[in-house]
Structure 1
Amino acid sequence: MEQSALRISKIIKSFDGIKALKGLSLSFNKGEIVGLVGSNGAGKSTLLNVIWGAYAPDSGDIFINGEQVKKISPTKAQELGISIIFQHRRLMPYMTVAENIFIDNMPKKHGIVDFKKMSKDAQDLLKMLSLDIDSSKKVEELSAEEKQLVEIVKACSKNPKILLMDEPTTALRQGDVDRLFTLMRTLKSRGCSVVFISHRLKEVIEISDRISIIRDGANVSDGPSTQYSPDRIVEEMSGITATDFEHQRDVTDSSFSHAGQEVLLRTEGLKVANSQSISFELHKGEILGFAGLGGSGVEDIFESLYGLKTKQAGDIEIENQHATIRSPMDAIKHGLGFVSEDRQLNGEFLELSVKDNICIPSGQKKRLFSMINRSEETLAAASYIEKLNIKTESSQKLIKNLSGGNQQKAIIAKWLQLQSKIIIMCEPTAGIDVAAKSDVNALIQQIAEEGKGILYTSSYITELMHVSDRIIVVYQGQMFKEFSRSQYDHNQIYLAMNGIEEQSGVNDEH
C-alpha cells in the first residue's frame, strides 16, 4: 500500500534560464511532519509553489497517494486536499476574519451566504487553537501575529490531507508557536502530511519526524530528525565546513578600524516593539551589518531609527547630539536616509521620472525656503545617474520602466542628493538579479568609503559577510552576538541567528 501522501520525482523548474530546482525528488508520508530546510534561494518556496500548482514544472512528476497528477493548479490542489500557508500573508484586509477563513467556501442558506453560521464556525475554529480573536473583526485591524494565526486557521479549516507551511512561525510568539505545534501534531494523528519550512532550527528539530535539506535546488540530505543537530543542519545547508572558513577568513580580512573614527550614530537601551536594550555605535565610513531571522527585531530597530515605528525607551545620538525621531521627516532632518526592502511601497514614485525620484526629498526641503531651480535639479540628477551608473536613456524616463537594480540605485541617489550622513539599508538587493546585486553592493561600499555610515541587513549571510565591516546578530529582540570581520563564519552566524552559541564541532553522526 502506498505510504506517501505526496511524492515528487525529478522536478526541474527554471526562471529566465536559471534552474531553481534541479531534478528534485522527495516524498512525504501520511501522518508525518517533515521539516524542509535550506538557505535563502535554495528552492524551498519554489518547490511549494510547484506542488500547489502556482508554478508549472519544466519537467518531472507529482504523485498524490500514488496517483500521478498532471497539470496541477491551485484549484485542483485544493480539490486533492492540499492546503498552503504562504510566507507572505494573502488575507483580504477589508474583509472580516470569518470571511477570510471561508473565502473559498462560504456557507450558504437558500443560495445566500449565511454570515451567522460563517461567523460561528470561524469562532469555533479560533477557539480550537485557543485564540482570542473576534471573527467579526476586519483583518486590517489585526496585529501581524494575529494575521499569521488567521492564515493558519484558514488553511486548517479545509481539513487538509497535505498541509504546506512556508515560514508559519515568523510572526508568532512562543505561546502561539506551542499552540501551532499542538495543532500540527493533531493533524498528523489524523493522517495529514505536513511539510514545514522554517529557518528556526530548534523548531524544525522539535516538531519534525524527518528532516529534508535542499541546497541550490537539489536534495542533499534526508533522515529522522533525531539524527540532526543544528550545526549539522547548517553545514549541510551551506555545504561549507569549518576548514573552508579558516581559508575564507584570510580572504575577507578588512583594514577598516574604529580607532579614531568619528561616531555618527549611537543608540543606548533602545526598545521598540519586541526589541529591547539595543545599544550600538556606527562609525564614519563603516558598514554595520545586522543579521536576524524574520521576527527577530532587526526590522523594528531600523524602522524606529527612521521614525516609522515609535521607540518605547532608549536614547539616539547623531554626531554626539541627542536626536528626537518621531517621523521620517525628523529622521531626514537629522541626516538619515532609508532604503526599503519594498522599493515601490516606501522608496519610489512609479509614475514620476528618474530625475523627480532622485530630487523629490531635496525639493521638499527647498520648498520651505525658496523656489525650486528645475535646471539645478536636472544637472544634479544627471550627475548622480553618471556617478552611480544608472542605466537609463534619460533622466525624464519613468522610474517604473527601469530594471530593479537601476531603480534601487536611483533610490540610493536621492539620499546622496540630500547629503544624508547615515543610510539605513533594509534588504537593498531584494528582488534584483545577481549582476545588479553586485553593482548595488559595490555602490554601498563606495558610499561608505566616502565617509557615510551604513546600517545594512540582508537575508543572505554571504552578502552580509561580503559587505559589512561588523555584524550584530539579533535574536528574539536582543543583541545576541557580534562578529568582527576576522571572526566571520557563515555557519556560526546562522547558528547565532537561531540563538545557538558557537559549536565546538560537527555532530559525530554526520
Structure 2
Amino acid sequence: MVLEVVDVTKEFTGVRALDRVSFALEPGEVHALVGENGAGKSTLIKVLTGVHRPTSGTVLHRGEPVEFARPADAQRAGISTIHQEVNLVPLMSVAGNLFLGREPRRFGLVDRRRMNAEAAEILGHHGIREDVRRPLGSLAVGAQQMVALARAVSAEAGVVVMDEPTSSLEPREVETLFSVVERLRGRGVAVVYVSHRMDELYRICDRVTVLRDGRRVHTGPLRDLPRIELVSMMLGRTVGDLREHGATAFGDEHRAATEPVLEARDLTSGQRLRGVSVSVRPGEVVGLAGLLGSGRTETARAIVGALPLDSGTVLVGGVEVGSGVPGAMRAGIGMLAEDRKAEGIIPNLSVRENIVLAALPRLSRFGVVSRAEQDRIVATFVERLRIKVSSPEQKVSELSGGNQQKVLLARWLCTQPKVLLLDEPTRGIDVGAKAEVQALVDELARDGLAVLLISSELDELLDGADRLLVLKDGAVVDELVGDQLTQDNVLTAIAAGQPAAEAS
C-alpha cells in the first residue's frame, strides 16, 4: 500500500469526527471516497495530508509509520491535494502559483523566464492557453481549478487527492481531468477521488470507501456495487425513507402570484451582461442555465448590487432597489454565493456569529444586540436545516462543507428575505444533504419566497425550476416553461444562441 490509515480516530471539542477508520490506497488505483456531509470525508483527507494529526491510530506511508505535523510534510512525502475551493494565491501569477514553493532558480534567484516557459508548457498539456504572467484571480473559477490540478500532478506525487475536482469545470475541462486521471493511473500514482456525481465515480474509480457518521461502513470494488445500494449505504436508509421524510426534489408546481416581486430590466455590464432581464414572482423558482461564463453568476451579482452596471434597473415590489449590496439587503434580497470559502463563511467566527451576521441591523436596539434573540434564531435554523454542530459556539471552519452551506443559507433566511438568489446551492454536497437543500428550497417557495436558482447541473434546473432562462455570452437566448423544459431544448438554445424552437 502506498498510503494507509489504521484504526484512526479524530476528536474535536465534543465531536468524534472519525471513529476507528481504516483506509488503504494501492499504487495506480483510483479510490472513491463518499459519504454525506459530516460523514468524515474532509477530516480523513486532512489526516492523510497532514492538516490534522489523529487522536489515535496510525498513518502508514509505503508501509512505514509517519506523523505529518503539517501539510508541507505530506507534500514532501509525495501527497498532493486538489481542493474543492481553489486554495492558491489569487494575486500571484499563474506561473508563480504553479511552482509555488519549488520555483526554478538561477544564481540563487527565481528564474522567472524559465518558470514562465515551463508553466506555459505544463498548462498546455491540460488544455489551458492563458498568459501565465496574469494574476491567477483574473481567471475564471474553472481555469483556476485546472491550474490547481496541473500544480498537483506536476509535483511528481505518488498520491493525488481530488476533492470535488469537477465542481467548477466545463464538460471539456472535465474530459481533460479524466485524461489526467488515466495518465496518473498508468504511472502508478494512487488517486483519492471525492465526488457526489455518481456518473463520474462509476466511470473512473476502481474501489470505493463509504463513510457514515465518522465510521467506515464499506470498502470494495465499485463495479460490483449497484448505485441504489451505494446511496443507501451513504444515507443509512433507503431512498423510500428519504422521500418519506420530505427530502424530495424541487419539482412541485408553484402557484405563483401574478405580479413579480423581483424585476431586473436590461442589465448591462461591459461584455459580461448584455441587456439581461429577469423577473421572479412570489412562490416561483426561476432557473438560470448556461455554460460557465455565460452570465449566470454575473446576473445574480448584478441583482444583489455586487457587480457594477453600465445600465439597467432592479426593482423589488415595484420599487427601485438602492445602490450596492446594502441597498439590495434593505430591499429584501439575499444571495448564497457560489464560492462559500471566499464570499461566504467567516472561518474564525462561530456558527452563531456566522448565522446572525446579516440580521444584526434588524436585531439591534439602540446599538445593542440581544444575545437571547440571537440564540433563539440560531436554535431555530440549526434545527430546521439539520445543521450538524456540537454547539452554536463551535467554529464554522470545523464543519463539513455541506453544513457550512447550510449555515450560509440560515444566515440569509434569518433576514426574512423576499427574494433569494442561490448560486450553485448544492455544489459539492452529497446525495443526502443535496436532497435536504432541494426540499428546503421547495418549501420556501411554497411559503411565497421568490427564488432565482443557478446550477451547472441541468437535471437540477429542469426538476426544480418553474421557468428557465438560458444564457449565452452574457445575454438571454431563450425562456422555457412547462413542456418546453427539456434537456434537448436547453442544449439546443445554448449551442445555437437562439430560442430552441427557432433553431429547430
Where on the TM-score scale, by shorter chain, does this alignment land: which range? 0.5 to 0.7
Letter in 2 for 1:465: A
Contact 2:49 2:79 in 1 (8 A): yes
- State yes or no: 1:469 paired with 2:451: no
**Match of residue 368 from structure 1:** none
- State yes or no: 1:243 paired with 2:240: yes
Tell me the distance in 2 between the aligned counterparts of 1:306 and 1:226: 45
Query: Any idea what SS the aligned residue of 2:463 has?
Result: strand
C-alpha deviations, 1:106-162, integer Å up to 9, x for none? 222233322222222222211222321222222233222221111111111211111
Contact 1:405 1:437 in 2 (8 A): no
- Change beyond 3 A, Cα 1:472–1:243: farther
| 1:186-197 correspondence runs (5 A) | 186-197=183-194
- Change beyond 3 A, Cα 1:312–1:50: farther
Displacement after TM superposition at 1:56 (Å): 0.3
- Change beyond 3 A, Cα 1:438–1:7: closer
Q: State the superposition RMSD in angstroms.
A: 5.1
Contact 1:96 1:139 in 2 (8 A): yes
C-alpha deviations, 1:219-255, integer Å up to 9, x for none? 2223323234544433322222133135424999xxx
**Match of residue 203 from structure 1:** 200
Letter in 2 for 1:51: L
Letter in 2 for 1:482: G
**Match of residue 385 from structure 2:** none
Tell me the distance in 2 between the aligned counterparts of 1:94 and 1:160: 26
Query: Any idea what SS the aligned residue of 1:240 has?
Result: coil
Tell me the distance in 2 between the aligned counterparts of 1:378 and 1:116: 56
Q: Which runs of no fewer than 5 residues in structure 1 stay unpaired? A: 363-376, 393-403, 410-428, 485-498, 500-510
Contact 2:260 2:317 in 1 (8 A): yes
C-alpha deviations, 1:422-481, integer Å up to 9, x for none? xxxxxxx96587999999988977865xx9455565654335535733499754265221
Tell me the distance in 1 between the aligned counterparts of 2:235 and 2:20: 19
**Match of residue 175 from structure 2:** 178
**Match of residue 38 from structure 1:** 35
Tell me the distance in 2 between the aligned counterparts of 1:438 and 1:130: 35
**Match of residue 220 from structure 2:** 223
Displacement after TM superposition at 1:95 (Å): 2.3
- Change beyond 3 A, Cα 1:224–1:309: farther
Query: Any idea what SS the aligned residue of 2:22 has?
Result: strand
C-alpha deviations, 1:299-320, integer Å up to 9, x for none? 6664343133479999976336
Tell me the distance in 2 between the aligned counterparts of 1:152 and 1:436: 24
Identical aligned pairs, as a percentage? 25
Query: Any idea what SS the aligned residue of 1:155 has?
Result: helix
Query: Any idea what SS the aligned residue of 2:142 has?
Result: helix
**Match of residue 328 from structure 1:** 325
Letter in 2 for 1:168: P
- Change beyond 3 A, Cα 1:307–1:114: same
Deviates more, 1:307-316 or 1:459-468: 307-316
| 1:422-461 correspondence runs (5 A) | 452=418, 454=420, 457=425, 460-461=433-434
Tell me the distance in 2 between the aligned counterparts of 1:118 and 1:482: 47
**Match of residue 373 from structure 2:** 389
Query: Any idea what SS the aligned residue of 1:390 has?
Result: helix
- Change beyond 3 A, Cα 1:389–1:360: closer
TM-score w.r.t. length of structure 1: 0.66
Tell me the distance in 2 between the aligned counterparts of 1:247 and 1:164: 36
Tell me the distance in 2 between the aligned counterparts of 1:172 and 1:330: 33
Letter in 2 for 1:480: L
**Match of residue 104 from structure 2:** 107
Tell me the distance in 1 between the aligned counterparts of 2:407 and 2:143: 39
- Change beyond 3 A, Cα 1:120–1:44: same
Number of residue pairs the alignment of both structures matches: 421
Contact 1:83 1:163 in 2 (8 A): yes
- Change beyond 3 A, Cα 1:309–1:39: farther
Tell me the distance in 1 between the aligned counterparts of 2:444 and 2:171: 33
Query: Any idea what SS the aligned residue of 1:7 has?
Result: strand
Contact 1:288 1:455 in 2 (8 A): no
Displacement after TM superposition at 1:325 (Å): 9.1
Contact 2:7 2:22 in 1 (8 A): yes
Contact 1:289 1:469 in 2 (8 A): no
Query: Any idea what SS the aligned residue of 2:193 has?
Result: strand
**Match of residue 481 from structure 1:** 463
Among candidates 119, 138, 142, match of residue 141 of structure 1? 138
Larger Rg: 1
Q: Which runs of no fewer than 5 residues in structure 2 stay unpaired? A: 383-394, 446-450, 467-486, 488-504
Among candidates 89, 93, 96, match of residue 92 of structure 1? 89
Displacement after TM superposition at 1:335 (Å): 4.5
Tell me the distance in 1 between the aligned counterparts of 2:179 and 2:410: 47
| 1:255-404 correspondence runs (5 A) | 258=255, 263-265=260-262, 281-283=280-282, 302-309=300-307, 318-319=316-317, 327-328=324-325, 331=328, 334-338=331-335, 379-382=365-368, 385-386=369-370, 389-390=373-374
Contact 2:50 2:74 in 1 (8 A): yes
